[in-house]
Amino acid sequence: MGILAPPIRWVVSSLHPVPLRIVLVRHGLSSFNVEHRIQGRDDLSSLTEIGQRQALTTGVALRDLTFAAAYSSPLGRAADTARLLLEAQGQGLNAQLDEGLLEIDLEPWSGLLRSELKEQFSEQERQWRQAPELLELQRADGSSYRPLEELMLQAREFRQRLLDRHAAALTDDQAAPQTVLVVGHNAILRCLLLALLNLPLTGFRRLRVDNSGISILNLNSSGVQVESLNGLGHLGDPLPAKGNGARLLLVRHGETDWNREGRFQGQIDIPLNATGRSQAEAASRFLAPVTIHRAYTSCMARPRQTAEAILAAHPGVPLTSTTGLVEIGHGLWEGRLEQEIAAGWPDLLADWKRAPETVQMPEGETLQQVWDRSLATWQRIAAGLDGAETALVVAHDAVNKTILCGLLGLGPAEIWAIKQGNGGVTVIDYPDGAHGRPVVAAMNLTQHLGGVLDRTAAGAL
């Protein structure tokens, strides 16, 4: 019997080896992508020259990693991406082809131009955009099926096989950490992300996965953490292309001495250290090509200093400070190292790691209080933007995590499922307006800080 899907109750430190790391990569640009055709499960599309270069560039970006195994969809555009990527990565590994990574089955639509799809299947096309989990199609034999439901079942089965194959890394404390590469397609990778996070299909449209985008998840025997999502920096563009609707860039402040020491900062106003200033300047260079119209920050020094450094490349952009984005109040824990808290509040600290939503900080806040004020502030900022605008928001670890949990459909209990590195950049789009469904287009991008892995300090909040 395989190990069960892990509950999301876990803190991971980037200062220690991750038992199992999963690197997800979507195939490179294909001929059907260029032609705006529906690909689905048919193997009629192939990598373009650009797609081949993307695969090779992705392999170079992943050279610092050693893969214990690689898995790929057997469809040509994905299998060729995996082959080229692994050749450039230089480890000499071959990908195992797995039908669990096949793309969604859109049999009656395959090969159609998107314009033809809207003309011939207008109601179903609208359903696919608005609530794809409810879409029903008919196969050539006349049978009806829900393609996204079928794909989610496939994703869950692949997840289980993957966990079974690499169970030793998750369950044996003496086993060596493992990193696994998974190369697939847009829809199957989104479903796999939902399956790993135990999220429902209604979250499908909340995620974005671009050609050759890199996403990284960390797992151990009791949980999963999204380290990053849809990183494209290795391809030369800092962020996914912006479509219609407002965009918000959520950034965590740079490092402080207390981050480095592992002290609980909370609402004590600790400034950036030299590393933190360098991280803020790197984020500024990273975001320099991006047009920013407005900026918001917690009223504390470390996010304000980070925001000011980023805006040095964007003169004239107004910066607004707000108390709604200040870090969680740790109360009597603030300024203390974890071992000091363990000595004075051992049970409460254990609860904070195991079930953070249950903890009332001594003379401080609860996560629900942070959740309420941070998400309310975020929504006010989003509602104040028009569709052409991009806003910068710089805040803190717990604040960013509660915002992202809320946007993804997770709850306060799952904040450890989200990684926020110092100086990391997250991209949220609102294609249907501020009251429509948000899309996490990219999360915790840290390549501007030295590679695809988040190597920033893993200190206390």
Which residues are known to be catalytic?
A: 253, 327
Q: How many other CB atoms are there within 10 angstroms of residue 323's CB atom?
A: 10
Q: For residue 268, give both structure tokens.
A: 């004590």
Listed in sequence order, the residues at least 6 apart from 145 whose beta carbon sits closer than 8 Å to its beta carbon are 105, 136, 137, 138, 139
DSSP for 276-343, written as a single string: HHHHHHHHHHHHTTS---EEEEESSHHHHHHHHHHHTTSTT--EEEEGGGPPP--GGGTT-BHHHHHH
Q: Where are the alpha helices (DSSP H) in 312-448?
A: 338-344, 346-354, 367-383, 397-408
Question: What 3-state DSSP class applies to 94?
Answer: coil
Question: What 3-state DSSP class applies to 437?
Answer: coil
Listed in sequence order, the residues at least 6 apart from 162 whose beta carbon sits closer than 8 Å to its beta carbon are 22, 71, 180, 182
Residue with tokens 């169970």: 167
Q: For residue 413, give both structure tokens.
A: 């209990």
> DSSP class of residue 3?
P
Angle of the 186-196 helix axis to the 147-165 helix axis, nearest 10: 60
| CA angle, residues 170, 155, 141, in degrees to nearest 5 | 155
Cα separation, 280 vs 310, whole angstroms: 6
